[in-house]
Amino acid sequence: LTYNFSNCDFNKIRVEYDQIIFSDLKKYMNGTKSTQFNYNISCNNPPDCLTEIQRVTFSPTHGCTSLHKEMFAVKTKATLTLQCPGYSGIQINNTQAKKNRKKREVTTNKCLKQASQLLGLWRRFSRIKGN
């Protein structure tokens, strides 16, 4: 399910990230050094950044299938739903997620790496002006 983020209210998303989501993301990363992972995902403009943020947040990957359940992810979905007309959020492929659940508990480091990519993507989104 792909969505075009061009019509979102980027300023409101920035404020909600800054005031709400950032705290939860930092809490999730608690104890992880910012230098522990290097950022290898970037984005060029606000819609592009939100596309990447959604992908990294909600698409289960090998070794990290449950990031979407974390508080910061739930709130990311809420702000995208609120500030992006027509956005209905990604329907997680539950069968895929359930199958890998046991692995997720062992390899949370992969989730931390993904979360640190999100920090980079959100920081980039917050800095790129343009509405």
Binding site for another protein (CB under 8 A): 15-16, 18-20, 23-24, 26-27, 71, 74-75, 78-79, 81-82
Q: Which residues contact 37 (CB under 8 A, 6 or more apart)?
A: 112, 113, 116, 117
In angstroms, give the least distance from the CB of 38 to another protein. Answer: 26
In angstroms, give the least distance from the CB of 11 to another protein. Answer: 12
Contact call for residues 22 and 115 (beta carbons, < 8 A) = no
Q: Which residues contact 13 (CB under 8 A, 6 or more apart)?
A: 50, 79, 80, 83, 84, 125
Which residue is associated with the tokens 């809490």?
A: 27
Nearer to another protein, 27 or 129 (CB): 27
Nearer to another protein, 14 or 104 (CB): 14
In angstroms, give the least distance from the CB of 53 to another protein. Answer: 15
